[in-house]
A and B are shown apart, each in its own frame.
Chain A
Amino acid sequence: MAAAGTKEDDRTAMLRHALHRLLLAIPVLFGVLLIGFLLMQVVPTDAAVVRAGPTATPDVIEAIRRDLGLDRPLYVQFGLYLWRLAHGDLGVSIINNVPVTQELAATIGPTLELMAASLIWAIPLGILLGTVAAYYRGSVADRLIMAFSVAGVSVPVFFVGLVLIWFVGFKWQLLPFTGRGGPLWTADGLRAIILPALTLGGVFVGPVARMTRTSVLDVLSADHVRTARAKGLSERLVVLHHALRNALIPVVTLVGLQIGFLLGGAVVTETVFSWPGVGRLAVGAILSSDLPMAQGAIIVLSLGFIVVNLLVDVLYAGLDPRVRAA
């Protein structure tokens, strides 16, 4: 606790914290893999039957089962699965024989793109609205913002997507609404991502705004904000440097957790907008009983969640010196 507080020590503490969190992520990852594996075992679909096709004889099915290793005990299958995973082998699609890794590599980019395009406007807007609502608590602006965010929380993602498609895309023909229009740095690519990003980000603004408002309200009445005013700081500095800075700590936690739901939202959004991402891949694989593909998609989405949480933990330590010391 009372260790010397030089900048170097601070940086070391920060690094140690990050490493610690990274180590903690390993058992979580193992759990995710195990659950992903077991899920595929309880699905009432026999991979060998799907693979063999509707006209196959029992002999062929049996041969395929042996070939896929499905006749061996579960723990051996899981061991083999981990072994292959460690070598970057997620198996091949039952449906079209394409390696799962290849499909994932092709879809992960668009998904990251969509998430980034959603968060990049939704988080700042949510924080801004929440701060304004808190600072002008009880005003008309506050009430409007809160009404808007309650609506945002309550409306399902697909509905927002459909409304946007109907009006902006279909009726007014302002923006494309199916598929990815190309790389983001081209005009077509940029136009194509607007509606999906509005949809996915839209569900995010409300929760962030609400959380920011509560948190800022809390901090605005804190003793140290009174101290900041008493020493003659401008209101701008008081709000930005003392109220918002401290209020962001719980908001970061919430955003991290919400990103998990955003992954779920991505599945819906990608499906609604035919966005060629991991979410749509997962839905397609599940619908066609393509077990290896579904498993791969689930692993990638879970991995995304773990990485985001890791980032949040590190960011948390960056925002709060007390976490670093702990």
Chain B
Amino acid sequence: MREPLLRIEGLRTVFRIPGGEFAAVDGVDLEVPRGRTLGVVGESGCGKSVLSLSVMRLVPPPGRVAAGHVWLEGRDLLALPMEQMRQVRGSRVAMIFQEPMTSLNPVHSVGAQIVEAMRAHDPGASAAALKERAIEALRRVRIPAPERRFEEYPHQLSGGMRQRVMIAMALACSPRLLIADEPTTALDVTVQAQILDLLRELQAETGMSIILITHDLGVVAEMADEVAVMYAGRVVERAAARALFEDPQHPYTLGLLGSVPRLDEERERLLAIEGVVPPPFALPKGCRFHPRCPFAIEACRMAPPALEEIAPGHLAACIRAPVEQSVAA
């Protein structure tokens, strides 16, 4: 198998709080193959956004990456000097965010903001050339009348248009990896579909890899080649998208799938997972999911389960997996 574009090893990101610190991301290993999409799913607070900010080294204080490696094309991003990391941002790894309303600077025109991203990685280019390229970037994300939009300010654009501008800006320097943190959560459903289509088309054109962070399993099913399910700062299940949806192995994944409405099945009501994600400073001992798990046994309270291969390419962190055996037993 080819070397993956991005390999995350033992990543641990901690936040200092009065009286100690807690790990928002606690020992995560992930791989993103070239030209493919990795979906990272989980409830709010499971650490998926902190994971993506850790890769960019943009974790806001009082947070910091405490351990681990992020290998991108043979370099450990976490060990790079600040100036080299700055050059990686935007040109090798780019990022788009959940809130297109606030992610663009309201006082600069969208054109200026795209040009700025390009100039940061190509300081010698002429203003005219950069403008030309920025308009081309807007055209590439299917923004109509890009010459005119170039001069406009974010408040003059709709949410969907703003997210397109964000994508244009992110892809302005042809990054190899795009991290999309809940890119469609704040958008209308129809606009959502358009943005996802656009991302897929651009991926096909450029061959970039995508990390798609979302809590929406529908989005994952549509977009991802591989899926990692996160719970309380850890990856609890990892598999090819198809395998995960057809044969989920971790009780938490099962719970997530049970809470998705489906058109092709009749159900009395949606199943909810009992309880809430534990706060990171009050994690239960043993398996972090056991207080909410319908399959939990005494052993689950003892030691945290390791992420183990259950079927080829299918990993789950549950001592009772494969689930079928547990249910049968």
Contact = CB atoms under 8 A, between A and B. Distances in A.
Do A and B interact?
Answer: yes
Contacts of A322: 106, 153, 155
A245 B107 CA distance: 8
Interface in B49-106: 56, 58, 60, 86-91, 94-95, 97, 99, 102-106
Interface stretch (A21-29, A90-98, A224-232, A282-290): A224-232
Nearest to A230: B95
A125 to B, nearest CB: 24
A321 B108 CA distance: 8
Contacts of A233: 86, 90, 116-117, 120
Contact of A232 (B105, B108, B121, B155): B121
Given A231-B117, A325-B156, A5 B97 contact: no
B116 A237 contact: yes
Contacts of B188: none
B170 to A, nearest CB: 7
B148 interface: yes
Interface in A206-244: 221-224, 226-234, 237, 241-242
Interface in A2-20: 2-7, 10
B166 A227 contact: yes
A232 B106 contact: no
A2 B153 CA distance: 10
B103 A224 contact: yes
B132 interface: no
B152 interface: yes
Nearest to B172: A231
A237 B112 CA distance: 13
A3 B56 CA distance: 37
A64 interface: no
Interface string B155-197: 1100000000010011011000000000000000000000000
B148 A224 contact: no
B151 A229 contact: no
Closest 3 CB pairs of A and B: A232-B90, A5-B152, A232-B89
24 contacts: A5-B149, A5-B152, A7-B151, A223-B99, A223-B102, A223-B103, A224-B105, A226-B60, A226-B97, A227-B103, A227-B169, A228-B105, A230-B89, A231-B89, A231-B94, A231-B169, A232-B88, A232-B121, A233-B117, A246-B106, A246-B107, A319-B107, A320-B107, A321-B106
